[in-house]
Structure 1
Amino acid sequence: MWKRTIQRCSFSTTARRWTAPETTQQPFPPDINEWSHPPSNASISDEEVYRLAAKPRQPLTLADLVKHGKPPLPDAALLSSANFTLSRLPARLAHRIQALRNLPFIVVANPNVSKIYNNYLHSLSTLEPFYKKSITTIEEEIKFTEVMADLVRTHSNTIPTLAQGFLQCRKYIDPAEVTRFLDQHLRARIGTRLCAEQHLALHMASTGDAALQPPDPSHVGVIDLALQPASIVRQCESFVAEVCELKYGIRPSLVINGEVDAEFAHIPMHVEYIITELLKNAFRATIESGNEQYPIEVTIASAPDVTTTKLDALKKLSVTESTNHDFSQDGLEEYCSGDDSEMPPLKTAAPCITLRIRDRGGGISAEALPNIWSYSFTTFNKEEADEAANGGNGNSEGLNAIAASGSNQSSIAGLGYGLPLGRAYAEYFGGGITLQSMYGWGTDVYLTLQGIGKMDDLRKRPSAFKELEMEHRHEHKRGKD
């Protein structure tokens, strides 16, 4: 019988690695290069940041996140997950540091933006002892997992912090530049955070008391192989309706039709964030237009199997400067030139599910419609937006509470981030959001979510631990024969 030594991991906050402040006097006038970005006490050198930022960044797919198998994982698979995570994160972190340094100095020197900049430097410096060699022992994997836990905690408030910083700096940077930067930065953040969270989830499910429990057949880390959109819609409806009742004293009704039993493989926390944002807009528009007697209608449709696989789509993709969100063209070519046999979920047609959210909220005016995907656009008035930039709630407590869902309870209401950020989550794995508005009547929003491979195959696959055990049994049987 296969035996396994169970390792426990306690997540204490890792010590921050700072260097002593420089005491040498700077020349005057100062060297411009020395002042091209805010000073930091993190131990990572500028040369190391430049080296890592120049490395190709490969795409991250849902198939990558399940390739290590279903937990509980044996030691070899757990080490493989750690090394995969380590192969992806340093270049991504360094690239975002470089992007922040390329902002106007007055913007990156803002306390909120500077905080995010220093958070990235800190995270990269804590990874430095690991990425220069492979993780080969469970003890090293435990230390690395503690660093991943610290990384997730450190960056948990990135979105609202950046939102406040850019709103405070709106006099010094063009709105189009803000949208371009945030579109790239927040999409790249999705992949960075997901890499770390997936390894954390696999580790927790494979060690300690969790490894002794029957495995969850429908989960591989943070991915739910049997996610039901109708269930997520009902959860989000309950929350948004309660806040609407608190704010307005009424709650619109919601009906679900179409394929209400449809399910596919995706990341629940992403789907929950997107649907919360879309329902928030639909509920608010319905109430403020006085049409709460009409229910909000959510229709679910599961697209038939398509012939194009995810790997085919990746091979056809061309990464340009404007679409350089989370990986480079060099990294894409390197990824797609690998052995196709190593990526079986990418070679099968993935299920695709579309949700239509229809409301009678009066639609969107022609003047506002071109701006709805801009991070700097908001339907709040200037006083409310200024109050949100300064961290105040003003008279919009209910809407702030709605915006807190999916963003670690940090309010970004009034900052215009809901729709573009929701679309970023949808598009990250090949989905998308489109919108059709009839001004004076209502709005239809179409949310498309791309799944991963053949769901039934993934759900029926045994855990990596059992796969290894069965392999040992087959080898033992062949030896007897």
Structure 2
Amino acid sequence: MPSYIVTLKSDATDDQVAAAKQDAVKQGGTIGHEYNSVFKGFSVKFDEGTVHSLDANEHVEAVEADGEVKTHQRVRLPGFPVTADDPVTSLASKPLHSFSLADLVRHGRPPLSTDALLSSANFTLSLLPIRLAHRIQALRNLPYIVVSNPNISRIYANYQHSLSTLLPYTDTHISSLADEVKFTAVLADLVDTHRDTIPTLARGFLECRRYISPGEVTRFLDEHLRTRIGTRLVAEQHIALHHSSQAHAGPPGPESYIGVIDTELQPASVINACGNFVSEICELKYGVRPTWVIDGDPNTKFAYVPVHLEYIITELLKNAFRATVESGNSSRPIVITIAAEPPDEEDATDTMLDNRLASLPVAAGPPGVTIRIRDEGGGISPAVMPSVWSYSFTTFEDGDDIPGAATGAERSGMDALNAIASGGGVNSSIAGLGYGLPLSRTYAEYFGGGIAVQSLYGWGCDVYLRLKGIGKL
């Protein structure tokens, strides 16, 4: 079903915009996004073969196929005009404000008071428009032939749309529960709009791989993922606090949760749950179910985002399990060691930090946790080692099952972008998708942690995952 972006002239009145939409509907179109808060226009879809005359309207400036790329003319992307008063340029010139897990839990345990809920909403509002503007600017800075790709253009339009829904709030202060309810609905739309951003971007970069280097793709995705993690997390945190603070919501849920953060997360429990899941996939593919043992301090608890830890552990275990089975050492368990970090000596003398943490609704716990995953899967070849952090590297072989992938010669070109673009995830294959390590590292690094890999080629690998919880970040 063809989709078009209809842009009206800048001096078109609201009635003239409405008349243009009505004209499109009369011609058999279905109105999609309305861009009136960012530029005067809308998207419309028609059935295949439908002939329309939208551009005959005297108030219409342009009608363009949504995302269509033509080499002989410039494709105009929908969005804010790039002028001196462009809100994207203005917002993107402001620095990104970092935040910590402590910032996300400082509003208290739900149900929140009215003042605390409004404070959470305004904190969220102070972060999101600038973050969205930075991503729009980054997309604009890509080579034009890349950002004109239908998939990347779609992501560009999604960011424009989300920013347009937040702009009405940027010059105001959310001071009533009615405004907070409307704002939360905007956040829910934002989260839903960007649900498939990563696979869509990957498809776009695949189609443009002749025009952008793997290094540029890796740098763009690293930065994009870091910003997206924060944007999505801060939005979902307020949404969760909102719903758990409503009178009709019933019990607020597990007492250890503040929004989407578990203040008493036990890594050993997450490891066992992910291990069971990944071992089932491994058994389906290889007929072998690897085992693992947890040592160190399995009773450690700290404050962290469970879904982030689940993703990281799942990806790391997939790599370890597969290597162990394919090396013929499936009888050897993967050894997972958990170590709680002692308090930082600098933190111990930081009175301001002690006072800030004492005011948080979080039980005392370690400032961070380090998890070592040790396998005897043969290690990583020195020739391959420099590539493991690249989105253009994979351990897929020609015989591996890849959802949505081609066969034969096309399959041999499979890399991490293909894996992401085809929707490959934890349910798809035990094979190393290539993007598991760089994505996992981005999640770990967001709050000051990281991932390091040490390979003893011919024997096995040690992967060190360091996570920072509540503390000085």
TM-score (structure 2 length as normaliser) = 0.76
1:95 aligns with 2:113: no
Residue in 2 that maps onto 1:404:
425
Query: Corresponding residue for 2:61?
Result: 24
Whether the 8 Å CA contact 1:375–1:416 is kept in 2: the answer is yes
Alignment correspondent of 1:139: 178
* Contact map agreement 2:281 2:430 (CA 8 A) in 1: no
CA RMSD of superposed structures (Å): 3.6
Q: Which has the higher contact order (CA 8 A, sep 6+)?
A: 1
Q: Quote the Cα distance in structure 2 between the aligned partners of 1:24 and 1:383.
A: 52
Tell me how far 1:110 sits from its aligned partner.
1.9
Residue of structure 1 in register with 2:324 after alignment? 286
| Counterpart AA for 1:451 | G
The CA deviation at 1:138 is: 0.5
Alpha-carbon separation, structure 1, partners of 2:401 and 2:137: 29
Are 1:447 and 2:465 counterparts? yes
In the alignment, what sits opposite 1:355? 371
1:159 match: secondary structure:
helix
Question: Which one-letter code corresponds to 1:67 in the other structure?
Answer: R
Match of 2:5 in 1: none
Distance 1:193 1:186, change over 3 A: same
Number of residue-to-residue matches in the alignment? 400
> Residue 258 and residue 16 in structure 1: after superposition, are their counterparts in 2 closer, same or farther (change >3 A)?
same
In the alignment, the residues of structure 2 paired with residue 171 and residue 103 of structure 1 have an alpha-carbon distance, to the nearest angstrom, of 14
* Aligned with 2:453 (options 414, 422, 435): 435
Amino acid corresponding to residue 250 of structure 1 in structure 2? V
Number of the residue aligned with 2:28: none
Paired residue for 1:77? 116
Question: CA-to-partner distance for each residue in 1:221-244, whole Å, 9 max, x for gaps?
Answer: 111011000000011011111111
> 2:395, 2:431 within 8 Å by CA — same for their partners in 1?
no
- The amino acid across from 1:229 in the alignment is P
Q: Does 1:55 align with 2:94?
A: yes
User: Which residue in the other structure is 1:107 paired with?
Assistant: 146
- Paired residue type of 2:342: P
* CA shift for structure 1 position 307: 1.8
CA distance in 2, matches of 1:222, 1:230: 19
Contact 1:163 1:389 in 2 (8 A): no
Matched residue type, 1:363: G
The CA distance in 1 between the partners of 2:406 and 2:99, in whole Å, is: 35
Aligned AA (2:60)? T
Change (3 A) 1:137 1:277: same
DSSP 3-state at the match of 2:466: strand
CA pair 386-268 structure 1, distance change in 2 beyond 3 A: closer
SS at match of 1:404: coil
1:452 to 1:287, Cα distance in 2 relative to 1, 3 A: same
Share of identical aligned residues, percent? 56
Separation in structure 1 between the aligned mates of residue 443 and residue 348 of structure 2, nearest angstrom: 17
Q: Name the one with the larger strand percent.
A: 2
Distance 1:414 1:118 in 2: 32
Equivalent position of 1:479 in the other structure: none
User: 2:401·2:429 contact (CA, 8 Å) conserved in 1?
Assistant: no
Counterparts of 1:388-427 in structure 2 under 5 Å? 404-405=425-426, 416-427=434-445
2:285 alignment partner AA: K
What are the ranges of 5 or more consecutive residues in structure 1 without an aligned counterpart? 1-14, 27-34, 313-338, 455-481
Q: Secondary structure at the match of 1:290?
A: coil
SS of 2:61's equivalent in the other structure is coil
Is the 1:68–1:81 contact (alpha carbons within 8 Å) kept by the matching residues of 2?
yes
Mapping of residues 90-239 of structure 1, within 5 Å: 90-210=129-249, 212-213=250-251, 216-239=254-277
Point out the more displaced range, 363-372 or 344-353: 344-353
